[in-house]
Structure formats: C-alpha cells, structure tokens
Amino acid sequence: MDVLSDAVATMRTGRPHSSRQDKYAPWGMRFEASDGAGFHVVLQGSAWLLPENGAPLAVGPGDVVFLAHGRGHALASDVAVPLEEVRVRPDGRWPEATPPEGPPTGARTVLLCGAYGLDRARAHPLLAELPEVVHFPARVGAHRSLRTAVELLGTELEEPQPGSDTVVTSLLDTLLLYILRAWWQRERHDDGHPTGWAGALADPAVAAALHAIHHTPSHPWTVGELGARGGLSRAAFARRFTALVGEPPLAYLTRWRMTTAGRLLRSADLPLRLVAQRIGYTSEFAFAKAFKREYGVAPGQYRKRAS
C-alpha cells in the first residue's frame, strides 16, 4: 500500500455514512463535535459554513468542504438563522430531514453530507497537519476525479438501486482519498517548495523511504539503507527526512511499526508472536515492552479492550 492509503486505513473505523439533504431557506443545521471527519458538498444553491473557530465561509454550487478534525460546525442558509441540532443515529444513519411547514417558498439548496469514523488515539501526522476546514471551490477542470466521485455518490443517494449500500460505502471511502489527494496536490502546486507532508510526498528521496517503511515494516531498516533508496548520504537523508516529516527516520519507523501492530491486534486474530514478527521484532518480549511504552498497556490488554 502507498503511504496515503496506509495512513487512512490505519485511522478509519466503522462504516462511513452520508445523506442527501434538500433545504429551503431559512434553514440551519449544527453538527456536534465527533472523533471522525466530515464533508459537505453543495450540489445546488448556496450555504454558509460556520466553523467552530474562524469566520463564516460562503459555499456555492460544486464546492466541497472537508472538516478533518471533527470539530463542531454548522451549515445554514444565512449566518443569522436559528440552528437545528443534527445527531447521527447509533446505527450510523442520518436523521430524516425536518419537512417544511407548508409549501416551500425560500431558495432551495441541495447538500451532500458525509462522515467518517477515525481513531484519534493513533492519528497519523499526515492527517493531523490538515487545517480545520479544507475548501475546494468549484472550478472548471479542477480535481476531476473528486468531482466524478461526488457526482456518482449524489446519484446513488438520490436514486438508490440494488447494491447501493455497498456502492455508497465504497464511494465514500474513495471520496475521502480523493479529498486528501486533492489537498496535497494543491499544496504542492501553490507552493514551489512545499513543507510538511506535502513536501515529504513530493520529495523523491523521502517518499522512497516512506514507501519502503510502509511496504516492509518488518525489515531491519537503517538510516543509511533508507537514504540509499533515494540516492542520498546518511546525513543528508536524515536531515531532509526530519525536516519534512517532523521526526527522524527511525523514530517514524518505530511509530509506524507500533501503529501497524495496533491495527493487527484490533482486526486480526494473530498470536502475539506473529504480530511481533510482522513488524520486525524477533522477540515477543521486546515487542511487548515496546508496545506498552507506546500505548501504555500490554498488547494482550489492548486487544481485549478493542474487541
């Protein structure tokens, strides 16, 4: 798997959910804070996004907004209208929209809203550095894959067909990757010398090392060996990797090994010995010690809590 896919797969929990909303002004919806991330797409009309922190943001037809950190926010036809609390049901379904009293007379807005469950306890730094609100204004020719996924998702929600449950879930997972990809592509394009993870993924030497770590975390990587993947000396590679990723190569390797171990303990019924081997530990005792140092609990206890 590539680094972006790995980061998302590690944090994702549960099943994503979405809803198509038809609103007639005046209307307002408040979304409470959550552990996940969410998005809103304006299919028709216009709206105001009211973030918990920051100024109101006007969004129009075709605009996509992504809220990566699960902070409370609101959507409304105007910044001054009363807000109705929106709470997702325990089974993940969205509540039915409140029908207007009498024939609708205000301006119509059609929204596509969705949410993802994320494990914030092991937030990958690639996702953690995103701003509170990521806004993709509608522009001709921009982010065509993202626009196509939005159109397909909107069609499935408007006109459900046999198999739509599976199609919608797959499209939501695809949409999340397209949103994140579009963000880092924009960061690279807007800044001739991008920093952070946008720079890390654009840097051939650092990207090669990250791919090697993610592809084979069990390998006993050294800084020199990782640097050689990108044609850099040990010292030059270590400086560049640390500057872009935010931590030294072997520190990131340990982080990823422990993140992978947590995922295996949650999702696979493997003996601890095999979990240790898959992330590069020949000794189950050494693995358990490192895992407890990282998570605060022993691997067996972590697995019981996660089950």
Question: Which domains are present in the chain?
Answer: 3-190 (2.60.120.280), 203-306 (1.10.10.60)
Q: Is 74 helix (H, G, I), strand (E, B) or coil?
A: strand
**pLDDT reported for residue 46:** 96
Tokens of 262: 């947590």
**pLDDT reported for residue 191:** 59
**pLDDT reported for residue 141:** 74
**pLDDT reported for residue 198:** 82
Residue 25 contacts residue 75 (beta carbons within 8 Å): no
| pTM confidence score | 0.85
Q: First and final CA of the chain: distance in angstroms? A: 25
Q: How confident is the model over 53-104, as pLDDT tens digits?
A: 889 999 999 999 999 998 999 999 999 999 999 877 665 566 666 666 667 7
Residues of the chain with pLDDT under 70: 1, 89-102, 140, 188-193
Average pLDDT value for the chain: 89
For CA atoms 28, 32, 36, 37, the dihedral sign is positive
Contacts from 78-81 at CB under 8 Å and sequence distance 24+?
Answer: 78/25, 78/26, 78/28, 78/48, 79/48, 79/50, 81/25, 81/26, 81/27, 81/28
**pLDDT reported for residue 62:** 92
Pairing of strands 28-31, 84-86: parallel
**Dist. CA 264–CA 256, nearest whole Å:** 12
**pLDDT reported for residue 93:** 64
**pLDDT reported for residue 1:** 52
Answer left, alpha or beta for residue 160, where phi above 0 means left and psi between -120 and 50 means alpha: beta
State the SS3 of 265-277: HHHCCCCHHHHHH
